[in-house]
Chains A and B, each alone.
Chain A
Amino acid sequence: MEDLIIRRKQENNVLTVFAEGRIDNQNSPQFSEEVKPYLNDVNKLVFDLEKLIYISSAGLRVLLDVFKCMTENAVTDLVIRKPTEIVFEALEVTGIADLYNIEN
């Protein structure tokens, strides 16, 4: 079984990224490659993390990278949707929860 499954959905200029499984140090580059090249012309980005059960610091780094990238493009509508408890804890502990709008 794949540890991590990433799907993307783009509607108009809204990109939604669904991450399922776990993001650890091994597959965080995959996570990055599945997201970062698709950020052009996006004016709203949503990470749907309902089925993500774990995110490591390397995964958090990707979220931070994406945040920096989007901020440079003056996009501020960044959403993390329905993070699981463990993931939310990680987001909150590292302060990344403050960078995104958390929707439950």
Chain B
Amino acid sequence: MKKGIGINTTAVIAAVVFMGILTTAIASIGYKLYYDNVMDNYVSYTKTVVEYASRAAEEYSFGDMVAAREMPDGYEKFRSELNKIKDCSNIEYLYAIYFEDIYDIYSLHYAINAKTQEELSSGRPLSEIYSYMGKPCEQGAFADDTLLILQKAVKEKNRSTGTMEGYSEGYGYMLNGYHVIYDSNDNAVGLICVEININKINECVQRYITLVIITAFVLAAITIILYLFYIRRHLIKPILSIEKSSEAFVKQIQNNAAPEDLIYEKVSIRSGNELHLLADNVQSLADSVASYMNNLKTVTADRERISAELNTATMIQQSMLPHVFPPFPDRKEFDLFASMTPAREVGGDFYDFFLIDDDHLGIVMADVSGKGVPAALFMMVSKVIIQSCAMLGRSAGETLTKTNEAICSNNQAGMFVTVWFGILEISTGRITAANGGHEYPAIMKANGEFELIRKKSGLVVGGLPEIRYKEYEIALEPGDKLFLYTDGVPEAKDKDKNMFGLDRMLDTLNEDKGASPEKILANVRNAVNAFVKDAEQFDDMTMLCIEYKGADHETD
């Protein structure tokens, strides 16, 4: 058998896929939670710084400086306050801005900015480092979206601190905190802004994700290895060994190993789980197959022996019946032909004919109740007894009476045989007949049709003791024919169990009534075969036909 993907590979693939999905899910959820958490912290930190700075702005009346676009004495003091704030916090930018024209987002100007000690000690002149009141913002420093939000906050005199995330090409991802500045007349004049570089946050999150993924991957790998180790030991190995044993067993069968040599190699599975049961069941299945095949071999051998014996029995039975035709080539007074076709190897029907003396021919047509071997055994006995009685020179009736006595005296099985027995006086064509429960014979007078001789018959032979059989006579003229048969002919059935019947039999006989006995038998057999078609032959079928040609033929 062609193998698909092995159970081992499937297990690995399944485990990897499963762990992959699990890792992805854990990483996604972790990322989301972690990012939100970090972001929240940054937002509140940003807000704190912005609010601190805006409180300083109030203290220094920075709003009024912005409103007047002036840089009085307090201006630089305020800047150093902001510088301090920036020094102690981890922010990127701290500055104040205003819109020259509140309706034009591009009219943004710096009011002030703050730098740390570190930035100031870079050696560059302060005029380059610091932004002073009225310095226009560089184009592209703020995205339009950001500008619109800032503009809106000023317009609406937003009192609370706002935050937003923004991206600009120059600065990357930034978290922006802003608070509106008011002058002493409570006019919104500009904004204090703080920017925190959230590129750092992303880096941090990325580090976190990498860590999670690596950890998950390592754990997954360990789990997969443990899992595979476990299922290999407790699941796959047992299954593979069951498979190996079964395959070896099947191969033995395919190679036609002798049934007694069939061995199913025992699979030992320690665990008491279902696999153990499976192994046991496969084992007992294999054992059953082996013992079944053993039995089959014995039975087949028996059957072959019986069949051989039956073949011999068939031969013996066939050879017991006179089967060379013409049987008496030098007797021209009659022509005779007979046949027996058993339904099984051996049958219970028989015909017989024998010369009792020069002028008397005994003719027997008989049918033993039942079929097969028992009928055949009984038939052999019956045949011998009838012939023995007849050869003693008894009449037809006496022969059957004696035969009945002999059979009844030893008939434990309750078998019986129907017998028509006639003695033809060859010189005259006169037949003395007795019927022990057998089918009526059909006679054809020289120029007439075949018809049944409906003479009352006696009881079947072997039925009851002390029966006396009566006789009747049939006179045969030259050209007359007598047709004897067993019930296998009229009772031959087609597949719908319709019977051939006596009428069809007589019709067949009369269709070619001038034919020779041999041809007549062939005609009937063909008609029966055509009638039953493919139905199995159900009963033995035996026929005999004798044509009387007259004593004159003796000298021919």
Contacts and interface: CB of A to CB of B under 8 A. Distances in A.
Interface in A53-104: 54, 56-58, 60-61, 64-65, 67-68, 92-96, 98-99
Interface residues of B, number: 25
Contacts of A56: 487, 491, 539
A92 B458 CA distance: 9
B479 to A, nearest CB: 28
B464 A93 contact: no
A58 B416 CA distance: 10
A102 B464 CA distance: 19
A64 B463 contact: yes
B438 interface: yes
A54 B498 CA distance: 11
B370 A96 contact: no
Nearest to B487: A57
A64 B436 contact: no
B414 A94 contact: no
Q: Most chain-B CB neighbours within 10 Å: which of A67, A94, A96?
A: A94
B460 A94 contact: yes
Contacts of A58: 369-370
A94 B416 CA distance: 10
Given A57-B367, A65-B414, A95 B440 contact: no
Interface in A19-72: 22, 25, 54, 56-58, 60-61, 64-65, 67-68
Interface of A: 22, 25, 54, 56-58, 60-61, 64-65, 67-68, 92-96, 98-99
Interface of B: 367, 369-371, 414-416, 418, 436-440, 456-460, 463-464, 487, 491, 497, 499, 539
The 7 closest A-B pairs by CB, nearest first: A95-B459, A94-B437, A57-B369, A95-B437, A61-B369, A94-B460, A95-B458
30 contacts: A25-B370, A25-B371, A54-B491, A56-B487, A57-B367, A57-B369, A57-B487, A60-B460, A61-B369, A61-B370, A61-B416, A64-B416, A92-B457, A93-B418, A93-B437, A93-B438, A94-B418, A94-B457, A94-B459, A95-B436, A95-B437, A95-B457, A95-B458, A95-B460, A96-B437, A96-B459, A96-B463, A98-B459, A99-B459, A99-B464
